[in-house]
A and B are shown apart, each in its own frame.
Chain A
Amino acid sequence: SQQGEEDPQALSIQEGENATMNCSYKTSINNLQWYRQNSGRGLVHLILIRSNEREKHSGRLRVTLDTSKKSSSLLITASRAADTASYFCASFSGGYNKLIFGAGTRLAVHP
């Protein structure tokens, strides 16, 4: 079964606005990670939140994790045009090392 399904699939906002992306997963996790992919570039690791954490901050990023609902959210505050990218949540499958990704959220930030 697929884990890490993002919502919404696409999001278009103006610079300065906040962007919130949600992710749901199906199996138990030890941690959940968020990645960003800019057009033509690779995946950049943004933040990792452990299963015993509820919220984590990194700069303009805020990630929450609700293990009871098997969901996570990524909030980008005061967005910039450079934040335009696809964002993916990912979690490990069981006790293994392979990451399971969702289809991602395409974020467009307009100047």
Chain B
Amino acid sequence: EAGVTQFPSHSVIEKGQTVTLRCDPISGHDNLYWYRRVMGKEIKFLLHFVKESKQDESGMPNNRFLAERTGGTYSTLKVQPAELEDSGVYFCASSQVGTQGTQYFGPGTRLLVL
């Protein structure tokens, strides 16, 4: 069974540019999550989808971040315009239907904003 995949693995962009990150969850997992780790700090929750619906987006830092999950399969996270403080590792995770189960994480996308 394929795990959670993320694309790209790395991205280097300039301040003000736009970047779109993609996450493909494990097949059949209704729950999809985005987290990020900034500058070696703790990993922080961004948002949670159940199928195509946003269940919890309390961790989204501001309106420069837009997450979508059209069709309830893969998800994208767009940062527009990117700022220096957005640099970090963005993780995606998925879990089966239900609550508080094991979340399986992808390898992350390393974003560097110059």
Contacts and interface: CB of A to CB of B under 8 A. Distances in A.
8 contacts: A35-B105, A42-B4, A42-B91, A43-B91, A43-B108, A44-B105, A45-B103, A97-B99
Given A33-B102, A92-B100, A97-B100, A104 B42 contact: yes
A90 B40 CA distance: 16
A93 B105 CA distance: 18
B100 A31 contact: yes
B33 interface: yes
Contacts of B91: 42-43
A96 B55 CA distance: 10
B72 to A, nearest CB: 16
Nearest to B43: A101
Interface string A36-75: 0000011111001000000000000000000000000000
The 8 closest A-B pairs by CB, nearest first: A42-B107, A43-B105, A98-B45, A101-B43, A103-B42, A92-B100, A42-B105, A42-B108
Interface of B: 4, 6, 31, 33, 35, 40-45, 48, 55-56, 58-59, 91, 93, 95, 99-100, 102-108
A45 B93 CA distance: 11
Given A30-B100, A42-B6, A101-B44, 16 more contacts: A33-B102, A41-B107, A41-B108, A42-B108, A43-B105, A45-B105, A48-B102, A92-B100, A97-B31, A97-B33, A98-B56, A98-B58, A99-B33, A99-B103, A100-B45, A102-B42
A101 B42 contact: yes
B102 A45 contact: yes
